[in-house]
Structure 1
Amino acid sequence: MIFTAGADAQSLDPSLHPTGTYDALVHVDLYDTLVFQTPDGKIEPNLATSWKFKDDTTLVFTLRKGVRYHDGTPFKAEDVKFNFERVINNKAARWAGYIRMIKSVKVLDDQTVEIKLKNPYGPILANLAIPVAAMASPAAVKKHGKDFRRRPVGTGPFIFKKWEPGEYMQFEANPNYWGGRPAIDQLEFRVIPEDTTRVLQLRAGQSHLAMYLPPAQMQEVEKDPKLDLVSAPLFRVVYIGMNNLIKPFDNPLVRRAMNYAIDTQVIVDKLMMKTGKHLRGPFGPATWGYDPEFEKMGYSYDPEKAKRLLREAGFPSGFETDLWHPTGKYTADKIAAEAIQAQLAKVGVKAKLRTGDWGLVAPTIRNGKAPVYFYGWGVMSGDADMAMYFKFHSSMWGAQGNSDRYKNPVVDKLLEQARSTVDAGKRKALYKEAVKVVIQDAPWVFLKQEVMLVGKSKKLHGVILHPSERVYFHKARLDD
């Protein structure tokens, strides 16, 4: 079975997991986590068969018996301690923050492990389903050292065979997989940067699944009787960010004016060709904690109100700024940026477009040098904590998530209370209050929750397209 995407993974070491996108495509088929999160957000047993909270900060896992890594070594409780401490203590692990609330890991016996948290943390189980919390073979990690990123060994349904960087990876079915041997014998991931070529190969039967298709290729897939076009909702959101430390975006009146000045409905539905759900808040229905009331709290297109707010803020004639955007990172990003530029001009805001590839634009944004910019955020855990705390808590400024340098002590307190509350109902209520304040403060121009467009052969069945952008093949099968 062959699947294709436009870019390669960077590392096959889950402790590094630097991108959350192309790495995740292959990590989840090499490795397992203690728990599995279904596409609708339910937490199910995985390498752990059961768990219980002894108290609000102590979680005990019972591990699955008889599991072995691809190198033949047995999976046991000591490995949970090894893997979690390896991530927590690794300064290069960008996503280590998702498990750094773990204070200690205690091995009770070979099949039982106790995890002590620094504080009560409501979404801990969702975080433990993220690839950064996956179990890698300690023996292989110690044997290969830094080279482990290219010589991965996990407990997953597929075994790594070969990687030609920038070209392809090959895997084979794990005959001893604890969940049952996969129906697919050989799995190959091919890197095909050109969208047109990916679709041509799919139509020619040279691949079975083409990931991340642009809207321009939708018709080519839809009209082919041998193919299906799948639109999978994602946790990821796309928005127009504003650096809240750069004038005049330090003024909430200006930020609200920006929200009224941009016709986000038209941007999403027409220019971005409905490749996502239009949003009026910071996260969408796919993410736990969402409330339909968010849509009533947000902004609608009203250029006259935008002008009024700009006058009130002291900018009756508008102002000049730079709008940074990548090309090809987000659906129709260049066309959308040009439309936003024209809409802003109608209220007196003269935006100069600063265009570049993602390698240039992303560091400029994260380092606080871009005043206005296209940006996205993938909520890997599917929980409001990741959607809100990492983007709006003042402790997360910069590359950690809060690239907008937004700060509000009220929001900080609400988010701290929400993540340290175990009761789901109370957590949701706290997030709703935090969202109200964030929408009023308008650190973003809210755009959309993304969907993943995938072209699939009708012969392929059972692939799980997860909202976190993880793709699972352990239940996949191919018709003859």
Structure 2
Amino acid sequence: MRLKKCLIVLVAFCALLLLLAGCTAKVSEKTGNKGETENKTLAIGLAQFPGNLDPADQYNGWYVVKFGVGETLVKIGKDMKVEPWLAETWKKVDDLTWQIKIRDNVIFHNGTKVTGEAVKASLERTVAMNKRASQLLDIASIEVNGNEITVKNNRPNPSFIPTLADPFAVIVDVAAARAMGEEFAKKPVATGPFKIKGYAKDVEVVVEKNDNYWGSKPKLDEVVFKFIPDSNTRVMALQAGEIQVADNIPAESVGSIVKAGSYQILSGSSLRTHMLIFNVTKPGLDDVNVRKAINMAINREDLANKVMKESAIPATGPFPHVLPFGGGELKGYAYQPEEAKKLLDAAGWKPGPDGVRRKNDRKLEFSVLCYKNRPELPVLLEAIQAELKEIGVKINIINVENIGEALKKDFDATIYSLNTAPYGDPQYLLETVFKTGAASNFGKYSNPGLDSLIDSLKTEFDVQKRNSIAREAQQIVLGDAAFAFLVYPKCFLAVSDEVEGIQVFPSDFIIYII
């Protein structure tokens, strides 16, 4: 029996978190007596996995959409423009008010019709559960008129409609969530082309075709998403034929995969930035001159071209250069280790007998969290560790299994990877990472002037002016050196020749299989 090629449309748009997010795939088909093909199954292995399947909980919605289970009112296309999804149309009534018409042919996985009331309940549940949603959507009230909802913001919110594409806004059946209790986080009731068949935490998620899907019918009967966090294991699974697509391929593995034959490597620019986040409340790291010196001691050209073997672009600021408000025009940090040493000297951090600088008997030593789901991060951090040693700064690398949980606790610094502009707009990152008290401001960074500048985006609807504000905000962030922006990674996807139709787009949190 010969495996037929299966069309997989992989649409990656909008990303938090994460990634041309982890994907691997295996297709199997059984043929009936009359030559009919049935039971088409795809197995996908992921480098990262959700804590549960409730889309409103933290970043789990990214996976619920990735699995083809959940849908939002709007989505971001490959051209980074907003497109209809569960919403048919929308319009801005005034600076505070939006009218959104919901498609009238959508039903939840349990057969319940999706109405304006259902959408209202789902959005209100999301805002109540998710801090990012509350901050970014800023909803004052929602009124319902049949299949149309009218949303009022507390303040003007130019990015409101694009923000509805964030997977935290997946539309779910709230009545089912209440009735199911904790089981809902294992089997959410949403609207996507697939519905949950089975879930084993940190092992696999199995989805099956939703025969009542409102849109184009799925071409696959079942998809198995397997958690394969180790990159070498993922590559071996690909080469053993256990999976057909592997994401997050390390640069050093690309050559061997291509040489083995029967595979192709897809790559492209991403909207992701690898960075260091400093906890600015920690002794030593509370000194801006220390943070600037660390930035000056990092050779970003080497990280991109040698450590990552030309699979990344040296970073300037938070946003990749491909974005109109990206880092190309900003003044970043050049590699100047000798100037870094002078800066530390002037700040009173003097070399100790062991080579580690000291000030008032305090060593310039701290720990940096690292996680292996993105295989290049440990390698980057080891290179940075060696570079910082040269200027008298000692870092200890702490590997963690779950970076999300680790960042909820006390830490000195972390290496981290972020999808910076999931909606093609700068407000998301500025609002959620750099603003005082923001949901993902893990390092407790605060600058009141920056906060005010970010707030001005909430009332500015002109795109060019928004881009200008974003560049000004980024320069403030760079001046405070609470972060070290390292590289903008490219995305690599290894695909078996048995699979066709894969596309790689800049942003990266949705695998949409139809």
* Common topology (TM > 0.5): yes
The aligned residue for residue 354 of structure 2 is: none
In structure 1, the gaps of 5 or more residues are: 476-480
Flag the 1:145–1:99 CA change in 2: closer, same or farther, 3 A: farther
Aligned AA for 1:311? D
Whether 1:315 aligns to 2:349 is yes
| Mapped contact 1:276–1:450 kept (Cα < 8 A) | yes
Q: Secondary structure at the match of 1:234?
A: coil
Flag the 1:266–1:205 CA change in 2: closer, same or farther, 3 A: same
The aligned residue for residue 377 of structure 2 is: 333
The aligned residue for residue 123 of structure 1 is: 159
Matches within 5 A, 1:19-168: 22=63, 25-26=66-67, 29-90=68-129, 93=130, 95-97=132-134, 99-109=136-146, 111-168=147-204
- Cα deviation 1:49-96 (Å, max 9, x = unaligned): 111000011010111121112222111111111001111222xx3543
Q: Secondary structure at the match of 1:89?
A: helix
Question: 2: distance between equivalents of 1:162 and 1:392?
Answer: 38
The aligned residue for residue 487 of structure 2 is: 448
Question: 1: distance between equivalents of 2:139 and 2:502?
Answer: 32
The aligned residue for residue 355 of structure 1 is: 398
Question: 2: distance between equivalents of 1:9 and 1:243?
Answer: 25
Flag the 1:465–1:128 CA change in 2: closer, same or farther, 3 A: farther
Whether 1:292 aligns to 2:328 is yes
Farther off after superposition, 318-327 or 284-293: 284-293
Matches within 5 A, 1:204-219: 204-219=240-255
Q: Secondary structure at the match of 1:11?
A: coil
Question: 1: distance between equivalents of 2:406 and 2:261?
Answer: 44
1:373 to 408, 414, 417: 414
Flag the 1:246–1:199 CA change in 2: closer, same or farther, 3 A: closer
Whether 1:404 aligns to 2:440 is no
The aligned residue for residue 340 of structure 2 is: 306
Question: 1: distance between equivalents of 2:88 and 2:62?
Answer: 28
Question: 2: distance between equivalents of 1:433 and 1:347?
Answer: 30
Root-mean-square deviation (CA), in Å? Answer: 2.5
Flag the 1:184–1:108 CA change in 2: closer, same or farther, 3 A: same
The aligned residue for residue 52 of structure 2 is: 11
Whether 1:395 aligns to 2:437 is yes
| Mapped contact 1:337–1:353 kept (Cα < 8 A) | no
Aligned length: 462
Flag the 1:324–1:197 CA change in 2: closer, same or farther, 3 A: closer
Displacement of 1:252 after TM fit? 2.5
Q: Secondary structure at the match of 1:395?
A: coil
Whether 1:2 aligns to 2:43 is yes
Displacement of 1:306 after TM fit? 1.1
2:281 to 238, 242, 245: 245
Whether 1:191 aligns to 2:230 is no
Identity of aligned residues (%): 28
The aligned residue for residue 424 of structure 1 is: 463
Farther off after superposition, 160-169 or 275-284: 160-169
| Mapped contact 1:288–1:384 kept (Cα < 8 A) | no
Aligned AA for 1:425? Q
- Cα deviation 1:306-335 (Å, max 9, x = unaligned): 122223322243442113132524433334
Displacement of 1:45 after TM fit? 0.8
Displacement of 1:463 after TM fit? 4.3
| Mapped contact 2:316–2:328 kept (Cα < 8 A) | no
| Mapped contact 1:236–1:449 kept (Cα < 8 A) | yes
Flag the 1:155–1:362 CA change in 2: closer, same or farther, 3 A: closer
Question: 2: distance between equivalents of 1:238 and 1:262?
Answer: 13
Matches within 5 A, 1:454-465: 454-463=493-502, 465=504
Q: Secondary structure at the match of 2:457?
A: helix
Flag the 1:71–1:166 CA change in 2: closer, same or farther, 3 A: same
In structure 2, the gaps of 5 or more residues are: 1-41, 352-356, 359-363
Question: 2: distance between equivalents of 1:47 and 1:79?
Answer: 12
Aligned AA for 2:218? P
| Mapped contact 2:248–2:374 kept (Cα < 8 A) | no
Displacement of 1:249 after TM fit? 2.8
- Cα deviation 1:184-235 (Å, max 9, x = unaligned): 2322212234433332332343322223233343223222432221224433
Whether 1:235 aligns to 2:276 is no
- Cα deviation 1:341-391 (Å, max 9, x = unaligned): 322232232x141422244x6656554531x43223333444311222222
| Mapped contact 1:307–1:316 kept (Cα < 8 A) | no
The aligned residue for residue 386 of structure 1 is: 428
The aligned residue for residue 478 of structure 1 is: none
2:206 to 164, 170, 173: 170
| Mapped contact 1:120–1:422 kept (Cα < 8 A) | no
Question: 2: distance between equivalents of 1:48 and 1:23?
Answer: 18
Question: 1: distance between equivalents of 2:229 and 2:293?
Answer: 38
Flag the 1:466–1:107 CA change in 2: closer, same or farther, 3 A: farther
Flag the 1:100–1:9 CA change in 2: closer, same or farther, 3 A: same
Q: Secondary structure at the match of 1:419?
A: coil
Displacement of 1:99 after TM fit? 4.6
1:324 to 365, 368, 372: 368
Flag the 1:403–1:82 CA change in 2: closer, same or farther, 3 A: same
Question: 2: distance between equivalents of 1:167 and 1:467?
Answer: 28
Aligned AA for 1:341? Q
Aligned AA for 1:326? C
Aligned AA for 1:15? A
| Mapped contact 2:136–2:428 kept (Cα < 8 A) | no
Displacement of 1:21 after TM fit? 5.9
| Mapped contact 1:41–1:288 kept (Cα < 8 A) | no
Question: 2: distance between equivalents of 1:11 and 1:466?
Answer: 26
Q: Secondary structure at the match of 1:254?
A: helix
Normalising by structure 1, we get a TM-score of: 0.88
| Mapped contact 2:229–2:372 kept (Cα < 8 A) | no
Flag the 1:254–1:229 CA change in 2: closer, same or farther, 3 A: same
- Cα deviation 1:264-288 (Å, max 9, x = unaligned): 2212321233343221101214556
